[in-house]
Structure 1
């Protein structure tokens, strides 16, 4: 057997092992990715804890994991506590609206020009028994018959997500504990495959992009939820804490907040509180406009040197193709692409790599 044939067989053997390992562990792909994102985003905190504990890796990793878990679990626990109180009534409301229809509010007729059309559409769809089911035929709502089924459906999804969260934090602990060794191994492989200068150029971009995306999406989204939650409370929205938490979660996705605050406005309008509904819409639109057009592009774009369109396409394209985790992977991919663009001097002969 020639040396070339032996190299080909060795490469095929290595690829087969990688494919089999990916196949066996595919169930844990998302928890591992989330753990990696959390690890990169909070690594400066872990580095400070490592110095605080005089280099004791396990103690620092455990402390960092507990802090990260608390930062995640405490807001989640508050939201779940509110949801637990409101879930039976909300489930009963959804089931009743689906089974018996939801009458069109009379104020729709007072809307200029389109009021009658909207009222007629509401009456022929949402106003009919199982109207919500027909409107959302491909979704889970179409299969719901009672409040208990609503709760079982939500509960099953919640348990599945909680298991993923548990695996993510277990993985996060080991990423902290073995992080330096893992980084050294990746640097050795990357430098061998790409050369040290080129590997260093790309490897330094990923942590910056992840941290900027976490700050620009998660922190800004939670701030939107907090501000609008206060507006909900002053507007007299029932369960304003729960609605504020839902707004904060949806606001992590650009242009996701309108789904929440428009739903809140609709609840207020159906209840006859038109002024409060208008206040919620105006406040939500203002907060959304400032956050999505000024704050987020500044935080993410300045840190990653990405143009606004690259940030926007990376976030929205990542969500569409990869789901929620794509929020963070999308900007990283765009950062690497822009780095490659500069490196290959595609803008002209005067452009240097990384500028």
Structure 2
């Protein structure tokens, strides 16, 4: 086997090595410079792909004016981020700070059962006694483990402190997505050309699959979870539930990872029946009950196709994205990991089909 030195003179080899080294250094330095903007760019691309059908429909209604459609859609997105999302985020941060402060000071309190529980027929006295014992035991346990949980309090406070940066990243992503809308066809053509160089036979299929996966996860999982958490937060605020923003954030998180909001909603509904009159409790229960099943009704309508990504992949994406990129990573993590999963599965399936087909079948397909 001939070496590189046999093809090139010594001086040319040295020049080639120097040029490759400089190129590698420039690539590395470029990556270091743009690395802080990777989450913003990724989230803006996700928003552009997810909302591109809406942009196309709006552009058609406006008589084929893409720039005006992009401006209107961007203003609507900014209104959603600056308004309800910011309210939910600030309320959640207050709850996190309060919880972290109590955790660090070791004075977390567990509510005692209301006296009205004793008046319940049949099970009232037994339930009251059991609840009171559990409350006292949990308080004692929390006092013992509180010193060991102080590092967790610091982590929660640090996460709350970085939320402002996450909100700014959201705003920049929405603005950048607005600039990407009018150039959607050119970006699709560029993506098709890139995939053609990697997987020539499956480039069109992979491009469609990538777009469908991004829309399915962003609209059917992330979008529905945000809407559900906002509605739940409104219900919590109307009911006067303590730490309403934090509970609404937990609803969003549990909905994203496909666990469901019932874990949060059921205790809140029980608390409402203890604290409110019959009419108010009934109305709030009906409202929160509708919110609780909203994802099961809206998600299949929004997604357009069944999401085959396993729940574990979405869960890992949520945790890994949050650890890597903060609040923004909470949303783009499951989307990127779901996209990687779907493309990998499709690639393996295509290879298996190609390996199982006969040479004659391959000539027929080509």
TM-score by length of 1: 0.68
Pick one of 125, 136, 139 that aligns with 2:152: 139
Which has the higher mean CA deviation after the structures are superposed, 203-212 or 323-332? Answer: 323-332
CA contact (8 A) 1:243 1:260 kept: no
User: Cα distance, 1:207 vs. partner?
Assistant: 1.0
User: Cα distance, 1:188 vs. partner?
Assistant: 2.5
> Where does residue 31 of structure 1 map in the other structure?
40
Which has the higher mean CA deviation after the structures are superposed, 106-115 or 183-192? Answer: 106-115
CA contact (8 A) 2:50 2:214 kept: yes
User: Cα distance, 1:120 vs. partner?
Assistant: 4.8
CA contact (8 A) 2:47 2:174 kept: no
CA contact (8 A) 1:297 1:311 kept: no
> Where does residue 335 of structure 1 map in the other structure?
342
Pick one of 246, 266, 270 that aligns with 2:249: 246
Alpha-carbon distance between aligned partners in 2 of 1:12 and 1:53, rounded to the nearest angstrom: 52
Q: Aligned ranges for residues 151-162 of structure 1 at < 5 Å? A: 156-162=161-167
Pick one of 135, 139, 144 that aligns with 1:123: 139
Q: Residues 27-60 of structure 1: CA distance to partner in whole angstroms, max 9, x if unpaired?
A: 1121111111101101122233444566655444
> Where does residue 259 of structure 2 map in the other structure?
255
> Where does residue 319 of structure 2 map in the other structure?
320
User: Cα distance, 1:8 vs. partner?
Assistant: 8.9
Q: Residues 60-109 of structure 1: CA distance to partner in whole angstroms, max 9, x if unpaired?
A: 4333322322233332244367x39x94x996687468454526626799
Q: 1:344 aligned to 2:357? A: no
> Where does residue 325 of structure 2 map in the other structure?
none
Structure 2: runs of 5 or more not aligned: 118-124, 323-329
SS at match of 1:238: coil
User: Cα distance, 1:212 vs. partner?
Assistant: 1.2
Q: 1:73 aligned to 2:82? A: yes
> Where does residue 62 of structure 1 map in the other structure?
71
User: Cα distance, 1:113 vs. partner?
Assistant: 10
Q: Determine which structure has more spread, i.e. the larger CA radius of gyration.
A: 2
Change (3 A) 1:295 1:198: same
> Where does residue 326 of structure 2 map in the other structure?
none
Change (3 A) 1:230 1:67: closer
> Where does residue 200 of structure 1 map in the other structure?
204
Change (3 A) 1:175 1:7: farther
User: Cα distance, 1:175 vs. partner?
Assistant: 2.2
Which has the higher mean CA deviation after the structures are superposed, 260-269 or 210-219? Answer: 260-269
Change (3 A) 1:223 1:162: closer
Count of matched residue pairs:
330
Alpha-carbon distance between aligned partners in 1 of 2:195 and 2:17, rounded to the nearest angstrom: 21
> Where does residue 112 of structure 2 map in the other structure?
105
- What value does the CA root-mean-square deviation take over the aligned residues? 5.0
CA contact (8 A) 2:214 2:339 kept: yes
User: Cα distance, 1:338 vs. partner?
Assistant: 2.6
Alpha-carbon distance between aligned partners in 2 of 1:36 and 1:134, rounded to the nearest angstrom: 44
CA contact (8 A) 1:104 1:123 kept: no
Q: Residues 246-295 of structure 1: CA distance to partner in whole angstroms, max 9, x if unpaired?
A: 355333332263564367469669x878x999x99999799757846x86
> Where does residue 147 of structure 1 map in the other structure?
none
CA contact (8 A) 2:232 2:288 kept: yes
Alpha-carbon distance between aligned partners in 2 of 1:45 and 1:334, rounded to the nearest angstrom: 26
User: Cα distance, 1:205 vs. partner?
Assistant: 0.7
CA contact (8 A) 1:229 1:240 kept: no
Which has the higher mean CA deviation after the structures are superposed, 49-58 or 183-192? Answer: 49-58
User: Cα distance, 1:21 vs. partner?
Assistant: 1.8
Q: 1:168 aligned to 2:158? A: no
Change (3 A) 1:80 1:296: closer
Which has the higher mean CA deviation after the structures are superposed, 103-112 or 203-212? Answer: 103-112
TM-score by length of 2: 0.66
Alpha-carbon distance between aligned partners in 2 of 1:188 and 1:11, rounded to the nearest angstrom: 25
